[in-house]
Amino acid sequence: MKKLLGLLCLSFIALHSFGQSNRDGNIAIIPEPVSLTQKEGEFTLPKRVIIETATGPEMKQIIATLRERFSVPTGSKVVVLSNAQAATIKLILNKKADDALGKEGYNLAVTPKGIFIKANGPAGLFYGAQTLVQLFPKEIVSNKYVANVSWMAPCVEITDYPRFKWRGLMFDVARHFFTKAEVEQYIDNMVKYKMNLLHLHLTDDEGWRIEIKSLPRLTTVGAYNVKKVGYFGNFSPPGPDEPRDYGGFYTQKDIKEIVQYAKDRFVDILPEIDVPGHSLAAVVAYPELSCTPGADKYQVRSGEHFMNFSKDGIKAGIDNTLCPANEKVYDFLDKVLTEVAQLFPFGYIHMGGDECAKNFWEQSDAIKALMQKENLKTQEEVQSYFEKRIEKIVESKGKKFMGWDEILEGGLAPDAIVMSWRGMKGGIQAAKMGHEVVMSPTTFAYLDYMNGDPAIEPRVYSTLRLNKAYQFDPAPDSVDSKLIIGGQANLWTEQVYNTRHLEYMTWPRAFAIAEAVWSPKSVRNFDDFASRVEKHFDRFDVAQTKYAPSVYDPIFTAKIGADTTKTEVELSTEVKGLDIHYTFDNSFPDQFYPKYTAPLLVPTDAYMLRVITYKGDKPVGRLITITVDELKKRAKSKRNYPNNDD
């Protein structure tokens, strides 16, 4: 019997693998479905497209998505009916729930005669619609009519459902302000890849971005700073006469509209009010919230240096924290959270807790008195005291309390949910303590890191390449997977000034995170993923959405040669099938220049190495120039940039 069961299992695996791999090269779905089987034939879109669907408010955006995609670029007329015998596309809500699909799964069948999407609920139909769009030619994403395209899709059967319920992107709108329309555009792109959670980082040292009617100075004062351009963190201090008019905030009307926009697309919005650190904008607006005399002279930060990070801890040049010993702070946060809770229907509120510099607390008589009164031994216990009081306020508003993994230090609040960013360790610790966890580690999921080599990328202190992001697995084997409710990628915007660069930093690495939180581990394969990413680059070109082509750029590894004092350079690529052409003679290499086949020894008097990658006769990578001095520096320090290593 065991042998028979084993053979049946092997047969199932073989069939499943055939369905996944034996497909037309044009099928490129992200995230990878649970099961995809290609059938014979193709479906051709008619000039009159009839969509049969149930009615209801949750169906509105599903219909709008299909109507737009199948009419604007194609020129077809789309008609929506509640009962049509000859429907082109049928959206079917299961009368009896399919337990395997859950709330967000779907079945999609494309046949020569029609298309059928079945799901237990509207969210599943919405995600099925996103997959359907990906089956058509890339021009389907165009915002204008495209002539001379064969609007055909391969016949397939797909069964699909998510691995995790929390599939998120964190969007920092505090460091640099982005408008309501820009936030909605971000939502539009994330839902195409079945992400369902937008984490809005609404407050920080550089700005308070949400209107709190009972505390108007938070936005009249705290939402604006002096505009600076360059490398954030190294700006000169603003002069007293420079205008503080750069920034902005969301009115409560804006927030309600963003929340509804997201809800229509089956996205929840998690608000973050970052305290007790990262609170300079709040302190500038209301200096009485600080422990430190002279806080009334502070200004909202523009990006000038004032925080020092070292192995000995975080030291701040000015006190950007709320005072845990001040009862006014808790009254203030009660007012803030009362209004925030009313604006955001999602069941969680994120209260930050990260990177809290405590050097001013150490000098505060009020903090010393609190420690004596509450028998607190360390500054970490002081922060824990603060977090536990904040948790009670959050819960009094009917919400769950969430914070970054620093809230573990000094003792975790009883029912806190931990978002683990300093690697996976904090999340594993919290899960072993019985707490829910969302994984968002720097190791795999920080989209503010460089996409590739700093020789060509805007410089940040670390690099996260696509292949590393693809290794993200939110649920390590060492913990109860039920406590890992999902994962997300985080995009901090210190170095992000506009939406085009926002897109560049998000895509394609967010593809990798989307697949990590939606697709089963068993169907994930980087080489297959990379080939699908390339096809989605083509779609982004049509949609005029920016992305980072860094996956085509070579990886440089410099070292001192084993038998020589010369610098040796190894070159590799993330994706297969690329040729690397190079030169040391200062000219510009193309496909007629030497092709890299083995490690290079840098010539004695060479000044620079230039490289470019080709796929066949087509250049796909960018021309990259690295000076020999830089290569020698990397070789001596053993600091290279294949992946983030901080």
- What distance in Å separates the CA atoms of residue 412 and residue 435, rounded to the nearest whole number? 9
Using a 10 angstrom Cβ sphere, with 0-12 exposed, 13-18 middle and 19 or more buried, the burial of residue 462 is middle
In a domain, 43, yes or no: yes
- What distance in Å separates the CA atoms of residue 326 and residue 284, rounded to the nearest whole number? 16
* Contact call for residues 270 and 404 (beta carbons, < 8 A): no
- Count of domains forming the chain: 3
Selecting among 32, 104, 172, 204, the annotated active-site residue is 204
User: Is the same domain home to 188 and 306?
Assistant: yes
Task: Tell me which long-range contacts 295-302 makes (C-beta under 8 A, separation of at least 24).
Answer: 295/319, 299/225, 299/238, 299/244, 300/205, 300/206, 300/207, 300/221, 300/222, 300/224, 300/225, 300/244, 300/247, 301/205, 301/206, 301/225, 302/206, 302/225, 302/226, 302/227, 302/228, 302/235, 302/238, 302/246
- What distance in Å separates the CA atoms of residue 569 and residue 598, rounded to the nearest whole number? 9
- What distance in Å separates the CA atoms of residue 447 and residue 490, rounded to the nearest whole number? 6
| Residues whose CB falls within 8 Å of the CB of residue 72, separated by 6 or more in sequence, listed in order | 142, 143, 144, 145
- Cα angle, residue 228 at apex, residues 226 and 231 outer, rounded to 5°: 145
Give the pLDDT of residue 646.
Answer: 40
- What distance in Å separates the CA atoms of residue 132 and residue 118, rounded to the nearest whole number? 12
Selecting among 176, 199, 278, 350, the annotated active-site residue is 278
Kindly give the pairing relationship between strand 268-275 and strand 197-201: parallel
In a domain, 5, yes or no: no
User: Is the same domain home to 358 and 408?
Assistant: yes
Region at 88 (left for phi over 0; alpha for psi -120 to 50; beta for the rest): alpha
In a domain, 206, yes or no: yes
Mean pLDDT in consecutive groups of 10 residues from the start of the chain, 646 residues? 40 39 76 97 97 91 97 97 88 96 98 97 98 98 97 98 98 98 98 98 98 98 97 94 97 98 98 98 98 97 94 92 98 98 98 97 98 97 97 98 96 95 97 97 98 95 96 94 97 97 98 98 95 97 98 95 83 96 98 97 96 96 97 85 51
User: Is the same domain home to 194 and 103?
Assistant: no
Q: Report the CATH number that the domain containing residue 201 is assigned in CATH.
A: 3.20.20.80
Residue-range definition of the domain harbouring residue 614:
553-637
Give the pLDDT of residue 641.
Answer: 66
DSSP 365-406: HHHHHHHHHHT--SHHHHHHHHHHHHHHHHHHTT-EEEEEGG
204 is a catalytic site residue: yes
* Contact call for residues 264 and 61 (beta carbons, < 8 A): yes
Give the pLDDT of residue 568.
Answer: 94
**Nearest-CA neighbor of 491 among 476, 501, 478?**
501
In a domain, 9, yes or no: no
Give the pLDDT of residue 562.
Answer: 72
State which of 130, 160, 190 marks the end of a domain.
Answer: 160
* Contact call for residues 282 and 203 (beta carbons, < 8 A): yes
State which of 543, 576, 607 marks the end of a domain.
Answer: 543
| Residues whose CB falls within 8 Å of the CB of residue 562, separated by 6 or more in sequence, listed in order | none
User: Is the same domain home to 152 and 172?
Assistant: no
Sign of CA dihedral 281, 282, 285, 290: negative
User: Is the same domain home to 469 and 579?
Assistant: no
Rounded to two decimals, the pTM is 0.94
User: Is the same domain home to 127 and 180?
Assistant: no
- What distance in Å separates the CA atoms of residue 590 and residue 549, rounded to the nearest whole number? 18
515 is a catalytic site residue: no
Q: Report the CATH number that the domain containing residue 97 is assigned in CATH.
A: 3.30.379.10
In a domain, 13, yes or no: no
- What distance in Å separates the CA atoms of residue 329 and residue 192, rounded to the nearest whole number? 41
In a domain, 474, yes or no: yes
User: Is the same domain home to 258 and 284?
Assistant: yes
State which of 518, 543, 568 marks the end of a domain.
Answer: 543
Give the pLDDT of residue 23.
Answer: 64
- What distance in Å separates the CA atoms of residue 595 and residue 614, rounded to the nearest whole number? 10
**Nearest-CA neighbor of 301 among 232, 216, 219, 356?**
232
278 is a catalytic site residue: yes
User: Is the same domain home to 358 and 394?
Assistant: yes
- What distance in Å separates the CA atoms of residue 197 and residue 480, rounded to the nearest whole number? 22
- Cα angle, residue 116 at apex, residues 111 and 122 outer, rounded to 5°: 160
User: Is the same domain home to 119 and 226?
Assistant: no
In a domain, 643, yes or no: no
In a domain, 12, yes or no: no
Selecting among 157, 355, 395, 579, the annotated active-site residue is 355
Give the pLDDT of residue 6.
Answer: 43
- Cα angle, residue 16 at apex, residues 15 and 17 outer, rounded to 5°: 90
Residue with tokens 């949750």: 58
Beta bridge partners of 609: 626
User: Is the same domain home to 442 and 384?
Assistant: yes
Q: Token pair for residue 50?
A: 């009839």
**Nearest-CA neighbor of 418 among 410, 406, 333?**
406
User: Is the same domain home to 223 and 88?
Assistant: no
Q: Token pair for residue 280?
A: 């300079």
- What distance in Å separates the CA atoms of residue 524 and residue 320, rounded to the nearest whole number? 43
Backbone angles phi and psi of 15, in degrees to 5: -65, -40
* Contact call for residues 631 and 556 (beta carbons, < 8 A): yes
User: Is the same domain home to 252 and 372?
Assistant: yes
**Nearest-CA neighbor of 340 among 247, 252, 249?**
252
